[in-house]
């Protein structure tokens, strides 16, 4: 049995993702006969890792059935939005996609498996796209967001873009998507339309967080 005093600092393992400025956080879990306790976000460690705080303007949750695909979302920049994402129930394959024009990792992506067994989380800096595919029914993701949701600022790139080639397919399940995501432009189309975030602008906004 492992116990932890409420309020004590718990160690977290940090991994830098292949998308510049994005991170994976894996916290220590403290189980006992009652269940478990875990700290999924610690501002001091986050600040040491990223170089700035994560101002939490709002928190959101989504619940998805197995095979549901959400994203790839991003926010018009400016204003831009940073996100910290964790999974409180079920499992999801999380996608971190660099949409920042001029970034050294533009067009690249990385994946992190989020789930109730690890309580791992991802941090997506301003201008980086986010999506996921739910690996189990009732998969619940929790989002810490640095700004408000404004419908006209919220944009998407198609998760079905063959150039991105995101691993969306699950055995025995076809991807379940909203009409908005099915109709979203490819990365090349979004670039041509001039709607993708500018890397230098993203860095300026990120530094001001």
| pTM of the predicted model as reported, rounded to 2 decimal places | 0.91
pLDDT digits over 13-30, tens only?
Answer: 999 999 999 999 999 999
Q: Is 123 a catalytic residue?
A: no
- Domain-wise residue ranges, the chain: 12-207
Annotation marks residue 199 as catalytic: no
Of residues 173 and 98, more confidently modeled: 98
Quick one: CA dihedral 71, 72, 78, 82, positive or negative? positive
Catalytic residue of the set 23, 123, 143, 199: 143
- What percent of the chain is predicted at pLDDT more than 70? 95
The gap from C-alpha 196 to its chain's centroid, in whole angstroms, comes to 17
| Highest CATH level, class, for 12-207 | mainly beta
Is the Cβ–Cβ distance between 139 and 166 less than 8 Å? no
Helix ranges restricted to H, the chain = 43-50, 179-182, 187-193, 199-207
Mean pLDDT, the chain, whole residue set: 93
The neighbouring-strand residues paired with 155 are: 74
Task: Report the pLDDT value the prediction gives residue 169, as an integer from 0 to 100.
Answer: 84
Q: Which entry of 73, 84, 130, 181 is annotated as an active-site residue?
A: 73
- List phi, psi (to 5°) of 188: -65, -40
Question: Sign of dihedral through CA atoms 135, 72, 75, 44?
Answer: positive
* Cα–Cα distance measured from residue 88 to residue 50, given in angstroms and rounded to the nearest whole number: 23
Per-residue pLDDT tens over the stretch 66-112: 999 999 999 999 999 999 999 999 999 999 999 999 999 999 999 99
């Amino acid at each position: 049995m492992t116990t932890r005093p409420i309020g004590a600092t718990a160690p977290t393992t940090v991994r830098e993702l292949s998308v510049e400025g994005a991170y994976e956080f894996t916290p220590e879990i403290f189980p006992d006969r009652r269940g478990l306790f875990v700290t999924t976000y610690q501002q001091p460690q986050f600040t040491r890792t990223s170089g700035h705080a994560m101002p939490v303007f709002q928190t959101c949750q989504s619940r998805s059935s197995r095979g549901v695909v959400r994203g790839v979302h991003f926010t018009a920049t400016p204003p831009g939005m940073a996100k910290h994402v964790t999974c409180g129930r079920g499992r999801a394959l999380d996608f971190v996609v660099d949409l920042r024009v001029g970034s050294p990792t533009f067009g690249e992506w990385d994946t992190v498996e989020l789930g109730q067994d690890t309580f791992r989380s991802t941090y997506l800096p301003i201008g980086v796209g986010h999506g996921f595919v739910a690996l189990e029914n009732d998969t619940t993701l929790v989002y810490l967001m640095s700004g408000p949701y404004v419908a006209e600022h919220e944009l998407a790139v198609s998760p079905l873009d063959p150039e991105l080639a995101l691993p969306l397919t699950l055995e025995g399940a076809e991807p379940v998507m909203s009409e908005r995501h099915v109709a979203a432009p490819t990365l090349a189309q979004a670039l041509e339309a001039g709607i993708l975030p500018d890397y230098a602008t993203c860095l300026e906004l990120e530094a001001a967080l």
